[in-house]
Structure 1
Amino acid sequence: MFLIGCSKKEVPKSSTSSKEQINPYYEKAFVFMDKDSDSSFYYLNKARELFQKRNDSFGLGKSFVNMAIIQEKEGDNFGSIETSLVASQFFKGKDTAHYGFLFCNYNNLGIASANLKNYKDAKKFYDKAFLFTKDPIDKMALANNLAIVFHNESNYKKAVAIYSKLLDSVGLKSEFYPKLLLNFTRSKWFDDRNYDPVHNYLLAEKLSENLDDDWTKDAAYAYLSSYYLNNNIDSARMYSNKMLDLAQKLKYPADQLEALQNLIKISDGTKAQKYFEDYSRIQDSLINAQNKAKNQFALIRFESEKAKADNLKLQKEHDAHEYQVERQKLIIGLLLLFFILTSIISYIWIKKRREKQALEANNMLQEQRLDFSKKVHDVVANGIYEVMTTIENQSNIPKEKILDKLELMYEKSRDLSYDDALQQDFNQRILGLVSSFDNDRTKIILIGNDCSFWTSIDGSTREELFQIIRELLVNMKKHSQATQVILRFINENNFREIKYIDNGVGLSESFVEKNGFTNMRSRLEGNAKLEIEESISGLKLSIKF
């Protein structure tokens, strides 16, 4: 059914008597308005930025409402509603110069809401739009759109009553008469299935032909094919084909899909298969085009969000006194001073904390080394002395006995070395390793490096992971130019993962794994898996085991 939006005269390129007030981006946007929605949206966004620099809140509102209308036409209804709500904040309900744009904005909100089947909000927005127009064509468009909402809510009698009044008011020669006649007839037929709509549909087709209005003619074909679908297959096929041809000429994929859907229902065999293939191809193309438009609009809107706070301030008119300005400066200065002092204190605290952790780790390592030296003296040195004494005092001692004693010494020294590796909590070894690479230029953040993470991991796997982490930190220091590194240790439901993230230069597009990554993968073979993850900047990888 025909939803009627704002005509070009209702969203005008605002006239101006001063060259300084001309916004070339706003003017250029209308050059592309009916040709290239992306370009039109882009220049409207550029116009918004220029209006913002000029502190022109009315210009901002005009830009936003036009952007919202483009979004609705391209199928981005949620985005359109969001942009229209932003636009409404820049218009004044008491300023008659704003009425035309307020009307278009509320009408667009109603259309977008109706497209999303939110009929309650649609009616509310249409009612608001009525307050800002005295133009008979505007009122006719709103009444038509409101009638469509009643039709979609199955309140056909109310829709028919509205259409009847509109038809009487516009007259047979009006360019809107064929559109209104189609909508009236369709609602009348839905209300009374014994009513024959064909005469009016054909009349609307003939009138639209005289007016060279292909869009209305296309709708007439759609309604005729739908009516004949269940009672006259030949007529349904004829009007569906006419609709398909005209929709292709108009480059309107939604009606192409509707026509193909009807043809699929009344065809069989190879014809039905061909129609179905065409339907799938057009539907995929339409979805891709809508997604592309939404993404494009979202990207441009993202840039707009950066200045949203400033834009909202422009809607209020301030007669700021000197006292208020100075008071504001004082508050900002105090907040800035507080922020600076907080940052300095936080920096000093974090630095001292890291130095303390590094000192504790070094002290613990020193104690472990002393303890290990003592064990070496007690076990190894005393054992060697025992062997020396045996050789000195027993000249005929068998060679096998000496070898047995030496082998025993070897076993004790190996066990001693292994025990020492277990003495130190492995998370402290990792902390000590990271502390040696952490400095003022490169900050390394450890998350989840707890004893519980390493508890059930065997010694050999720990050592391999230790070497890999050291290899990553060495490569980071040599090549990445990173200023921040995050090492995160995740332990969830017996699943462990080590994540490494830095903000350095990352890997080049032509990157090929060489010895470093090859060695790391070989160390993990059979125990864990190293994955290089996609990242916008820097390096991001994970070790899962």
Structure 2
Amino acid sequence: MKYTKVSFTLKILLFSFWWILIPKLIIAQTANDSSYYYHQQIINPVIPSDLPTGINFYIQKKKADLKAGDSISVINDLRLLAIGEFKIGNNFNSENYVVEALNFIQSMSTKDTLVNAKVGLYNQLGRIYGASNNPNEAIKTYNKALQIVVKLKDSVILLNNKANIYKEQLDYKNALTIYTLLHQKSQNNSDSYQKALVLDNLGYVQSKLNKPKALDNLKKALQIREDNNIITGQHASNKHLAEYYLDRKDTATALLYAEKVISLANKINSSSFKLDAISLMLRMDKNPLIHEYKKLTDSIANAKQIAENKNAFLKYNVAEEQGKTQASQLQQEIESRKRLAYQALALIIFLILIGSYFIYRNRYRKAKIEEIYKTETRIAKKVHDEVANDMYKIMASLENNSGIDKKVIDEIEKIYTKTRDISRENSAIDLREDFAIQLNDLLLGYKNNNVKIITRNLSKIPWNTIPEIKKTTIYRVLQELMTNMRKHSKASIVTLVFHKEGSKIHINYRDNGIGCNIFKKNGLQHTESRIASINGTITFESKHDDGFKASIII
């Protein structure tokens, strides 16, 4: 029975968990496939619509993840939004997404475990500062990331971007030191993206310092990027090769690469990339007015950028405070939803366990009752087959012996009759037949010249809807009451009235016998146990010389 209890409960739990989890696993798989597709549109855009489509997807995904309380996914959504906005040229929007993500992490209780997320966000913030002509803040941000980074791959990216800041500030010596170190570490690196990145930047700085391997490294980087369809990387490689030839007065070759730069910028559909490409083309024009115009516009743009940086820092401080408050509120909401989800899950599990307990208890009780009836039937058969038959043989042999006292034979016959009655009272009941007829035959079997049996409404009970275990119990209980009546009551009239109220069956027994004092011993106690085993009730009422009553409700 213990094994049955455990296995049945496990089945219920497994069924419930699969019923709850399978739809979620299917939805999660679909979401993961979509996320990967749009992730590639942000990280490696191929056509002009990739970046806007990817950004729109992650705006909607962020809302859904906030509603679902998935903090980790929210942080990843914000980082990809920052990358996408940066590639389009919206530096301020990109910075806001980074700040929102960092503040969100800061408000989380698990913030110390989210090192990789912080590193990625600091790296993106450094790129934004670099593009916003704010090199000092960019270097500080990269150094902050390098202090906590744990992955070699992330270290390479951070050092490369830090070197880019030195490169853009024309500090080629410091840039070369970092690029050379990175190139040495990337010799056995299987990551094509990083290998090309390091080679391209190394070749560019070498070209500015007139190092002999510059052109070879630039071309190797471009080849890797073309082989792996790294579009944004191809844009950078072609731009650096154009500058390489332009610095060496080979305008024709430089123009070929510059045209590729414009084509790739249009393909990526990034305003910042297009601006770089146009600026490169202007440098190739020999008209002095264009060069003067470029110097002036660059000067004005630089001054405007410095002013915007000051304004951006003010906005950053305000946004940071607001972001902390919003992130804290969002985190509290997420934690609240998580608690509700856990409580709901705990309630479901609790209800399943309670339901399993009652189901098992009913199954166990039913199995126990069935086992009792099987045992009674088995004993009855054994009494009939072995004891009664042997008694009959002995009685028959003694009757043929003239020397045996007839009283002895009569006593043996009484014992035989008792064993036969015991066997009949506990023999198997064939419930496949009409139960109303079987029960009626049982009751009328106690009728004789001295006892009249009256039944009412027995055939009106829908016995075919009553479970077999209950019908067996009713049969045995009435059998015991009738046997008790025949042995002890000296009754002349017995009435049994049947009726159904709702789902309950009521049976009222009454005889006009000598009655008795109710002690619930022997047969009466046995009937009470049988009725209780199927959650029914039986009550007795009797007085001396005032008959016997029993009320059964099942």
Same fold at TM > 0.5? no
Q: TM-score range by the shorter chain?
A: 0.3 to 0.5
Relative contact order (C-alpha < 8 Å, sep 6+): which is higher?
A: 2
Whichever of the two has the greater Rg, that structure is 2
